[in-house]
Structure 1
Amino acid sequence: MEIGKMAIAAAALIEAGDVEAAQVQIVDRLRERPEDPALWAEAGFFLQHIGSDEDALGCLERAWALGGRDIRIPYYQGLASRALGRPAEAESHFRQALARDDRYGDAWQHLGLALAYQGRFDEAVACLEAARVRLEDGASLGDRIWRTRFQAGQWDEAWRLCEASVPADLDERWQQMHGTGHRRWRGEPLAGQEIVLFSHGGNGDTIHYFRYLDRVLAAGPERVTLLVQPGLVSLLRASPAVVRAGAERVRVLEDAAALEDRPGYFMWFEGLAMLHRARPDDVPSQPYLMPPPERAAVWAERLGGTGRKIGVVWRGSPAMPEDHWRSVPLDQVEPLFGVAGTRWFALQPGPLPEDEAAILARAGVADLSADLADFTETAAILANLDLLITIDSAPAHLGGALGRPTWMLNRASSEWRWGWRQTESFWYPSMRLFNQEHLGDWAPAIAEVRQALVAG
């Protein structure tokens, strides 16, 4: 089998769902030609593509040792190292690739990401800019660049770059998609107009930027239509801003088909922060969500009892690209459950896998997953807890938006809105951040949380 054909055959097995057979085929072929660096490199490329990063590194190291000098070898070593949470090691590999050819735009891009993972943001931006001019689709890096500027604390420049990255034909795209005459809002007075605010991120993003609704209402729109995720509809309808404005002035919808062709504007939720040039010293941060009182009362009765009541969330949506880094295996959270004087409630949407259910049962943690029909129920529960301990996911934003004490376990690479190694969040004054030092290693952060619990 010629070089390249092995990968094609293995890919066919992967597509058929037989990963093990594909890997056996690769191993068998390497046994036939154990001194062929090109074959070891081909195996490494393929293994990295299917997520077998540790095996990929071994193959690529062998290819290099045998004299292989394909520029893709150090590049794929860098990809595998970064996927394994080793940014400094990844940096070294990407630099090795660029030393052979500094026109390699993909290597510049991923070197920038590896540097950002280490908190070296100015260097990261320089590498991403180098990638942008070398890649055919380099314009797509604009989003990554402005978010990296945020991590560096360069707010004004970040918002400038954010706005510059907005497609010039956005009005036309909206009109083609929805068939209405709304135009992108740039801060004009809204008297007599409708404005449509929509979500284009996750639930947490919508919760995060919902804080700007009062400022939108202050511009005087005749009507505001909110297009949000189904799980947020009832909670946002019960929010103080919507209740004050009235249901006729603020509509909360989940279906864009209900839009009407009226004169007015549109804006995405994150764009509101861009439009108002959010800064740490000018962020609407007061509690701006609350559960319906009747639901909070139901949970007050159900959760009554003595002891410090603590909610816990340890997993996020696997659809999020870095979820494997932000989520914490439940067995690593388990040491927290033994702190004296605490009662624990799992707020992880279910159903839960058997191993997690077993851990909760063993630790005496109440599993409320079956009760989390939407975020209204989660909010009503949080209103009756003393503390939420969570990863970086929608419940973290919900706890902060409700003004509830929230401790967030923050992955080492961090997300732009949490800054770098911050212990408090200016977005949410009731939030405390516990930062992971190295990707994949949660033990020190969990120990810090446990110490804080013990201290009261």
Structure 2
Amino acid sequence: MRHLGGTIPKMSEDFVNGDDTDQVSIGWARLARGDLQGAESAFRLVDATSAGRPDALTGLAQISLARGDWARAAGLAGMAARASRSESQHAGSHAALGRALLRLGHSEAARAALHVALLHDPLHIQANADLADALIALGRLDEALNLVDAIVVLAQTDVGLRLKRAQILGFMGRHDEAAREFRVIADLRPDDPAAAANLGAGLFVSGDLDAAAEALDQAVRIGSATPETLNNIGLVAMARGDLGRAGHALHDAHQATPADPRIANNYATVLQELGSHAEAERLYRGIAGTKDGLEASRAGFNLGTLMLGSGRWSEGWRFFEQRLALAIPAGSGLPDWRGDSGTGCVLIEAEQGLGDVIQFARFLSAAAARVPVVVRLPETAAGLLDMIPALRAFPPGHIRTADAECVARCSLLSLPAILEAGAPSNAPYLATGPVGTRSPGTEPVVGIVWRGSPRYRFDRRRSLQLAQLAPLLATRGVTWWNLQRDVDVPGLRSVDLTTLKATADAIMACDLVIAVDTAVAHLAGALGRPVWLLNRFGGDWRWYDAPHSDGLAPGGWYRDLVQFQPEQPSPPPGCWEDVILHVGRALRARFGL
């Protein structure tokens, strides 16, 4: 263990006079070298002549910890703690006890033991690190960070502590700070492939994809292509839109560790993106049948999206529900609604992004036909219920947005499974303001959206730069409306987008909407307006059955939506060049320009 205080003097093993103190020192020296068997012999010799000596018991506990025998380690450390008399004995025994209890999952008991250890030796590095782990397990992240910050000041080059700090920052969602900490570690260990790999992983989570790819390549250059590094290379390549490299890296990672369900899930995901649905489904089913709770649920959810995308609705909705195991549980405390009628008011809560809320709002009227509902939506969806004509058929108070006494709850995205819905209707289900009518001889109005939220992991693949649209925006005879929020562009007419209702009114006045995969595409489709979706290669599951531009025949989830997609899994921005030219030709043909 790392120690700044309470260290045991090193003794030469050549000087052995049978004294127990010398044997204890020999045991600790052997343990420091990794000689577990030799250390155990020395400590047991002491225990045979001086039964219950705390430093020997602590040594035996440390050996059990090194061997992964947590229960035995806890027992030995507990005996040592009860027998301890000096400051160093209390510090060592309670530190070992705390670590063993932590490994056994007893976080609060571990915290208490480690607190005692640090009362006797505040500079005990390993005890501080383990206490931080206990606080993390207890959800006390601020305390864990403060603890590590205080001790890092005294051990600025301790890589283990800095890794702990980066981990805590990541748990707190402070990913940029975590990445900076990983950078410090990589600078401390420039020839350590693990440090470069950790930096790459941290940069990936913080969204700096290019720097992440560089760091991960560096890890391979100075070390080897470990399965974990290959996995991260694949994830970064997928986010950057280089699906070919992602497929190769994740294939190699899976081949190296075929029993790792996390890597298998990631490999299946890129196979799904590349269109190898049968192989992806085989992998998903294999993982979903394991006892690995988190990865089994992730595989089940991914399998559900694949099924829904291919029109296998009944089974797909059931697997789709496994996403709930991956989310933070709802805090309402209400039991889950199972779809039964006459049970009292049911709370229906939004989930995921605004596009998902709009897409699944089509199922609200079917739920309200069974029970009174309170619909809890994010502020961005304010006014959505007023745009659903089917809800106007219910009596006042049957559908509310304010809190009320409810007897059960469900997620909005769970309604298809609960209601046992089959294939969704693609008929429009939202309505607002009048449809724009173009007078003869006037230019068609085309609304355009070219980017989504940069917080989305695959945003680089779905969003475009405005400059990429230059060939399309140069089309003569079109009045372009800017449906992209919070940005003014010369040559594009700015319109009111301050509310969902205002955005819907603007869409209704357009003859056509061209959008990347964002909430605007869902809103236009739900309103029944013609929408051309600029969809990344592979794309999201909900667009699998949407018709492609080669036939220009609408369908899928929205009756009047057509998608334009790159034909090859090439990275952006180059993959969009032919798509934009294709859209331009289709636009001129549609309006006779």
**Normalised by the shorter chain, which TM-score bucket?**
0.7 to 0.9
Partner of 1:367: 494
Which of the residues 293, 302, 307 maps onto 1:149? 307
Q: Is the 8 A contact 1:196 1:265 kept in 2?
A: yes
**Consecutive unaligned residues in structure 1, runs of 5 or more:** 31-35
Q: Secondary structure at the match of 1:184?
A: coil
Q: How far apart in 2 are the matches of 1:316 and 1:193?
A: 39
- Residues 147 and 3 (structure 1), Cα distance of their counterparts in 2 relative to 1, 3 Å cut: farther
Q: How far apart in 2 are the matches of 1:19 and 1:374?
A: 36
- Residues 392 and 247 (structure 1), Cα distance of their counterparts in 2 relative to 1, 3 Å cut: farther
Are residue 273 (structure 1) and residue 431 (structure 2) matched?
Answer: no
Are residue 236 (structure 1) and residue 361 (structure 2) matched?
Answer: no
- Residues 202 and 99 (structure 1), Cα distance of their counterparts in 2 relative to 1, 3 Å cut: closer
Identity among equivalent positions (%) equals 26
RCO greater where, 1 or 2, for CA within 8 Å and sep 6 or more?
A: 1
**Aligned partner letter, 2:588:** V
Superimposed CA distance per residue, residues 38-90 of structure 1 (whole angstroms, 9 cap, x where no aligned partner): x2453144124203554555555565456636443333332332232222322
**Aligned partner letter, 2:265:** Q
Q: How far apart in 1 are the matches of 2:382 and 2:398?
A: 15
- Residues 101 and 226 (structure 1), Cα distance of their counterparts in 2 relative to 1, 3 Å cut: closer
Are residue 189 (structure 1) and residue 353 (structure 2) matched?
Answer: no
**Consecutive unaligned residues in structure 2, runs of 5 or more:** 1-155, 549-553
Matches within 5 A, 1:36-435: 36=191, 39-40=192-193, 42-51=195-204, 52-57=208-213, 60-61=216-217, 64=220, 68=224, 70-132=226-288, 133=290, 135=292, 137-141=294-298, 142-163=300-321, 177-178=331-332, 183-186=336-339, 188-190=340-342, 193-219=344-370, 221=371, 223-251=372-400, 253=401, 258-262=402-406, 264-279=407-422, 282-291=423-432, 293=433, 296=434, 306-350=442-486, 352=487, 357=488, 360-361=489-490, 364-368=491-495, 371-419=496-544, 422-423=547-548, 424-435=554-565
Q: How far apart in 2 are the matches of 1:68 and 1:11?
A: 23
Partner of 2:58: none
Q: 1:260 offset after TM fit, Å?
A: 2.2
Q: Is the 8 A contact 1:401 1:428 kept in 2?
A: yes
Using structure 2 for the length normalisation, give the TM-score: 0.61
Q: Is the 8 A contact 1:151 1:417 kept in 2?
A: yes
Using structure 1 for the length normalisation, give the TM-score: 0.78
Q: 1:7 offset after TM fit, Å?
A: 7.5
Q: Is the 8 A contact 1:103 1:134 kept in 2?
A: no
Q: 1:395 offset after TM fit, Å?
A: 1.1
Q: Is the 8 A contact 1:45 1:76 kept in 2?
A: no
- Residues 101 and 215 (structure 1), Cα distance of their counterparts in 2 relative to 1, 3 Å cut: closer
Backbone CA RMSD of aligned residues: 3.7
Q: 1:427 offset after TM fit, Å?
A: 1.5
Q: How far apart in 2 are the matches of 1:111 and 1:196?
A: 37
Superimposed CA distance per residue, residues 305-338 of structure 1 (whole angstroms, 9 cap, x where no aligned partner): 9310011111222333323322221111232222
- Residues 453 and 248 (structure 1), Cα distance of their counterparts in 2 relative to 1, 3 Å cut: same
Q: Is the 8 A contact 1:315 1:328 kept in 2?
A: yes
Q: Secondary structure at the match of 2:555?
A: coil
Q: Is the 8 A contact 1:10 1:23 kept in 2?
A: no
Q: Is the 8 A contact 2:201 2:212 kept in 1?
A: yes
- Residues 447 and 23 (structure 1), Cα distance of their counterparts in 2 relative to 1, 3 Å cut: farther
Q: Secondary structure at the match of 2:284?
A: helix
Q: How far apart in 2 are the matches of 1:202 and 1:11?
A: 28
Q: How far apart in 2 are the matches of 1:412 and 1:143?
A: 21
More strand by share: 1
- Residues 198 and 61 (structure 1), Cα distance of their counterparts in 2 relative to 1, 3 Å cut: closer
Q: 1:386 offset after TM fit, Å?
A: 0.5
**Aligned partner letter, 1:49:** G
Q: 1:345 offset after TM fit, Å?
A: 0.8
Q: How far apart in 1 are the matches of 2:164 and 2:357?
A: 44
Partner of 1:444: 578
Q: Is the 8 A contact 2:389 2:431 kept in 1?
A: yes
Q: Is the 8 A contact 2:511 2:530 kept in 1?
A: yes
**Bigger Cα displacement from structure 2, 129-138 vs 232-241:** 129-138
Q: Secondary structure at the match of 2:382?
A: helix
**Aligned partner letter, 1:42:** A
Partner of 1:454: 588
**Aligned partner letter, 2:542:** R
Q: How far apart in 2 are the matches of 1:117 and 1:49?
A: 24
Partner of 2:49: none
Q: Is the 8 A contact 1:199 1:268 kept in 2?
A: yes
Q: Is the 8 A contact 1:40 1:59 kept in 2?
A: no
Q: Is the 8 A contact 1:75 1:93 kept in 2?
A: yes
